[in-house]
Amino acid sequence: MIQRFRQFVHPPTASEREKIVAEISDSAAPDFDFFLLVVLSCSIATMGLITNSPAVIIGAMLVAPLMSPIIGLGLASITGKGKLAESALEALAMGAGLAILLSMIMTMVNRALPFVAMYELPNEVLARTHPSPIDLVIALAGGLAAAYAMTRPNMSAALPGVAIATALMPPLCTVGIGIALGNRSVAGGALLLFTTNAITIAFAAALIFFLQGFSSSRKRSENRKIPPSLMISAALTIVLLVPLSYYSLRFFNEANENRQINDIVSAEVGQLNAELVELNVQRTTDGLNMIITVRTNTPLRYNQVTDLQKEVATALQQPVTLKVNQVLAEQFDPLVPPTFTPTTQFTPTLTLTPTATLTSTPVPTATLTFTPTPGLAEAIIGTMPPLKLYQSPGGPVIGNITRGQSLYLLGEREEYEGVVWVNVMDTEGRVGWVPELYMYSITATPEE
């Protein structure tokens, strides 16, 4: 079989093999040019990952300084050149360490300034934290293509595409980002991806060089046995399938659970005549922490949110902590013109009238201080941004307050983060808290 392959592909001559070995040895050496390309490629890849830019990351892949040492290791395992193996291994180890260190520093600097606010991990970072057997197949095909192209001078145009397919620098930079952020799962997953790519590419390169007639012996036999080094690299590649399969299974189960959570939350939110916009789930030892954003044309009440939390926890059969962000929106249908109804006008319930609790002595109609007893107040905020009604000082939003809306002061005051909050009740009976500085107290006077 090996003989038929060599007859079909026409292996390089002895002089061509020597030239190929010399070129790979030069490119795999840990010299100034190599480390300069590592620094530049790492800088490009790290910035691309932080800014979540695929185009920038592809630019870093094209530089591909780590491909040469890995190909050199594959060649050294077949030819038995100890000096080449030592040089390539040193370049790979030092280059990988330099890339991780540089990406850590760049991430820490970005967090301290920051140039780009990282409120959550970018998708390009997350994409390199869940390696699977598919990544091994990609690395195997890419390594075969890279090694074969290096033995064929007229096929050098294929190398840039191989560099993009078998990405080496972005996973290393993801390791540095994960370490800088203190996220071990990100760093571990990306390190496994880099290890998979490196070992698989080295094995693929060794296989191609063996089939092309490279050998450590000057007497080259057409029917020689497979060298032990090639069998060892093949065994390492097969062993990598174990952690890759584990990561794939865990990721599949997590994705399936996320889909179930999304379906349940969407259905429960729909029961409230609202629409689920965004769902953020964090898994803890105590259960699930959810932050959901819903779009609705009617503000949700506190009891509706608590009922929603209970229904979701019951459906998922595990404890759930829920926070709801509301986006108030009015929906228009071009086929159904809006119809004005009296409900859009002010009703007599908003008219201030004397009550039994008001005094008959004329007093100034406005005062900037609150009395400890319940009273009447009016919102004095402008239209942008609208004032919110909060469940507690600085807590979740439970409704909006318009300019001039009447509120009942319930007499309680609290200070939170340097701001004085007052307990109020609006005309719909909702009880909540608002900053005191937006309130204008009203004391009604009898008509003369």
Write the pLDDT tens digit of every residue in 308-344: 888 888 888 889 888 888 888 776 667 666 565 555 4
Q: Given pLDDT bands bounded at 50, 70 and 90, which one contains residue 35?
A: very high
Mean pLDDT of 189-217: 86
Higher pLDDT, 437 or 72: 72
Whole-model pTM: value is 0.61
Mean pLDDT of 200-208: 89
Beta partners for residue 432, in sequence order: 424
State the Cα angle at 215 between 211 and 217, rounded to 5°: 145
Range with lowest mean pLDDT among 117-126, 242-251, 369-378, 380-389: 369-378
Q: What is the pLDDT of residue 445?
A: 47
Q: Where are the alpha helices (DSSP H) in 122-218?
A: 123-126, 133-150, 159-165, 169-180, 184-211
Q: Given pLDDT bands bounded at 50, 70 and 90, which one contains residue 223?
A: very low
Written as six digits, the tokens of 408 are: 């009942």
% the chain with pLDDT above 90: 15
Mean pLDDT of 106-131: 84
Can you spell out the DSSP letters for 23-89?
HHHHHTS-SHHHHHHHHHHHHHHHHHHHTT-HHHHHHHHHH-TTHHHHHHHHHHHHH--HHHHHHHH
Q: What is the pLDDT of residue 401?
A: 79
Q: Which residue has the tokens 């294929």?
A: 158
Residue 366 pLDDT greater than 50, yes or no: no
**Mean pLDDT in the chain?**
79
Q: Given pLDDT bands bounded at 50, 70 and 90, which one contains residue 77?
A: confident
Higher pLDDT, 143 or 94: 94
